[in-house]
A and B are shown apart, each in its own frame.
Chain A
Amino acid sequence: MTTQANDVRPVPTAEWVTIPDLFDDPYPIFQRLRAEAPVHWVPAVDRYLIVGYEAAHDVEQDAERFTADEAGSLMKRSMGHSMLRKDDPEHAAERQAYGGVLRPRAIKAHWNAVFEANARVHLDQLKAAGPGADVVSHFAAPYAAENLRLVLGFHNATADDLQRWSQTLIDGTGNYADDPDVWAAAERSSAEVDTAIDEMLAHFRDEPDHTLLSGLADMPMSLEALRANLKMTIGGGLNEPRDAIATTLWALLSHPGQRERVLAGSRWADAFEESIRWVAPIGMYPRQATRDTVLDGLQIPAGARLGVHVGAANRDPAVFADPESYDVDRPKVPHLAFGGGSHFCAGAWVARASVVGVALPQLFAELPELRLDPAAPATIQGWVFRGVTHLPVLWS
């Protein structure tokens, strides 16, 4: 929404914000920023950081003023130029090529049974690890990895390969500190993924099945775009459901009253949607201003590189009452965790099916006594991507 010219303010600068502080806990920083303005120039991250809901929403709905195809993109360097960094109509054509593989009909026909089988296997592994096990590394991560491997059709790789690829490629995408080791690891994974894709495409041309790679095998998409899109999908398709499972669990285990209400009403969808509002697994994504423009009353120059922080927008008190709390009973307002506009998360229904439909209910059905380990607190970190990285749990 544009404001009258005379109301337009310059964007304030936030010199005091540092990357280590953001990584540790960005939310107090967002609170302080938001109290002053919805957009700040943050030298430490070299971006205009958007922390207000209305500004974030305006940006994602207006690709004319704010392009996804930003210059100097870390994601392009890490994963190649995927559709996530393209605008329509180019983006739409590549998105179209994904077809129905990630949509509800295919999920019902093919993937729900896969998710259920994987949940059983990984719950057994969690139980075998015994009380005190870390639910992230023993359940959430391998479960998300195996689901993704099978949906994408990497029959020539292991779930561990998927985990390594996802983490290293995402680390590259978030490598704001420009660490050379991070780039080297991302490059190794990128080459491995290329090889695996080439092999599987050749296979699926003869023996097609329901997987994403199979569907793409005879699509008119350049190999370069296909490889970049797959890497983007490996990143978003693994770490985000993993983090959503872990954060939702952490939220429920640390809020006994809410856990009780969720369990009593099988309100897994409410628990999940509130969890990704509260701690959005993909916190920030970039956009670039195509012209001088005004965003929620602030003057943005042409070429400005923006960091749209949906994790911050999701805690904007102008939209969410008591936004810092996890509350499954809050009035329903659309959160921005799946993004919006043409880049709305293509995996949203897969995430809901695998997390809401399978992982959460099965975990609590199998381990009704699940509780936090008072001797080993959870760790939660990140600001571009944020999640619970270590969650030791007990059961009787």
Chain B
Amino acid sequence: MPTVTYHHDGGTADVLDVEPGTSLMRAAVRNGVRGIVGECGGQAMCATCHVYVRDPYLGALPDISEDEEEMLDCTTAPRDADRSRLGCQVVVGPDLDEIEVDVPASQV
């Protein structure tokens, strides 16, 4: 099963085994990972599932859609030009069976 690591401020992390086809937001919300809100349930509409993807995994990500692009300009924590993504738009599966992200200090 794919593995997702959510790194928090201060060096702690949550490591989850996640069913393929699940988004980083959904997995986090279901398992109570602190710092990922996902208010809109994954419609790229609320910008409260913001994550910073760690460098080694950036190449494996899908392209940023128009909806995601405009939401990334609405995040509470500053957008990182390369690493910022919406957790609801990144889905683990055969093309992405391992990923590590940093959880921003704030989503609201």
Contact present for B70 and A103 (CB under 8 Å): yes
Q: Which of B39, B66, B106 meets A338, CB within 8 Å?
A: B39
Contact present for B74 and A340 (CB under 8 Å): no
Q: Name the interface size band of chain B.
A: 10 to 19
Known contacts A344-B46, A349-B74; decide if A333 and B41 are in contact (CB<8 Å).
Answer: no
Q: Which of B37, B67, B76, B106 meets A103, CB within 8 Å?
A: B67
Q: Which of A104, A273, A342, A348 meets B41, CB within 8 Å?
A: A342
* Interface status of B61 (Cβ within 8 A of chain A): no
A332 proximity list for chain B (CB < 8 A): 76, 106, 108
Question: Which of B45, B66, B71 counts the most A-chain CB atoms under 10 A from its CB?
Answer: B45
B39 proximity list for chain A (CB < 8 A): 334, 338, 340, 344
B40 proximity list for chain A (CB < 8 A): 340-342, 344
B66 proximity list for chain A (CB < 8 A): 100, 105
* Interface status of B84 (Cβ within 8 A of chain A): no
Known contacts A104-B73, A334-B48, A334-B107; decide if A344 and B43 are in contact (CB<8 Å).
Answer: yes
* Interface status of B29 (Cβ within 8 A of chain A): yes
Shortest CB-to-CB span from A67 to chain B, Å, is 15
A349 proximity list for chain B (CB < 8 A): 74
A333 proximity list for chain B (CB < 8 A): 108
Shortest CB-to-CB span from B28 to chain A, Å, is 12
A346 proximity list for chain B (CB < 8 A): 45
User: B30's closest neighbor in chain A, by CB?
Assistant: A61
User: A273's closest neighbor in chain B, by CB?
Assistant: B108
Contact present for A344 and B45 (CB under 8 Å): yes
Known contacts A61-B29, A104-B74; decide if A340 and B41 are in contact (CB<8 Å).
Answer: yes
* Interface status of A127 (Cβ within 8 A of chain B): no
Interface string of A334-358 (1 = CB under 8 A from B): 1000101110101011000000000
A273 proximity list for chain B (CB < 8 A): 108
Interface string of A105-117 (1 = CB under 8 A from B): 1000000000000
Instruction: For chain B, residues 40 to 84, give those with C-beta under 8 angstroms from any C-beta of chain A.
Output: 40-41, 43, 45-46, 48, 66-67, 70-71, 73-74, 76
Contact present for A341 and B70 (CB under 8 Å): no
B106 proximity list for chain A (CB < 8 A): 332
Distance, CA A332 to CA B106, complexed state (A): 8
Distance, CA A349 to CA B73, complexed state (A): 12
Distance, CA A333 to CA B106, complexed state (A): 9
Instruction: For chain A, residues 46 to 93, give those with C-beta under 8 angstroms from any C-beta of chain B.
Output: 61
* Interface status of A390 (Cβ within 8 A of chain B): no
* Interface status of A210 (Cβ within 8 A of chain B): no
* Interface status of A95 (Cβ within 8 A of chain B): yes
User: A63's closest neighbor in chain B, by CB?
Assistant: B41
Known contacts A104-B73, A104-B74, A334-B107; decide if A342 and B43 are in contact (CB<8 Å).
Answer: yes
Shortest CB-to-CB span from A280 to chain B, Å, is 14
User: A96's closest neighbor in chain B, by CB?
Assistant: B43
Contact present for B107 and A341 (CB under 8 Å): no
Contact present for B43 and A61 (CB under 8 Å): no
B71 proximity list for chain A (CB < 8 A): 104
A95 proximity list for chain B (CB < 8 A): 43
Distance, CA A341 to CA B43, complexed state (A): 9
B76 proximity list for chain A (CB < 8 A): 332
Shortest CB-to-CB span from B60 to chain A, Å, is 27
Contact present for A334 and B43 (CB under 8 Å): no
Contact present for B70 and A61 (CB under 8 Å): no
Question: Which of B41, B48, B73, B76 counts the most A-chain CB atoms under 10 A from its CB?
Answer: B41
User: B48's closest neighbor in chain A, by CB?
Assistant: A334
Contact present for A341 and B74 (CB under 8 Å): no
Across the A-B interface, the 6 shortest Cβ-Cβ residue pairs: A344-B40, A341-B41, A342-B41, A105-B70, A104-B70, A334-B108
> Could you give 6 example pairs across A and B, Cβ below 8 Å?
A103-B70, A104-B70, A338-B46, A340-B39, A341-B40, A344-B39
Chain B residues in the interface with A (C-beta under 8 A): 29, 37, 39-41, 43, 45-46, 48, 66-67, 70-71, 73-74, 76, 106-108
Question: Besides the contacts A332-B76, A340-B39, A342-B40, what 19 more A-B pairs have beta carbons closer than 8 Å?
Answer: A61-B29, A100-B66, A103-B45, A103-B70, A104-B70, A104-B71, A105-B66, A334-B37, A334-B107, A338-B46, A340-B40, A340-B41, A341-B40, A341-B41, A344-B39, A344-B41, A348-B45, A348-B46, A349-B74
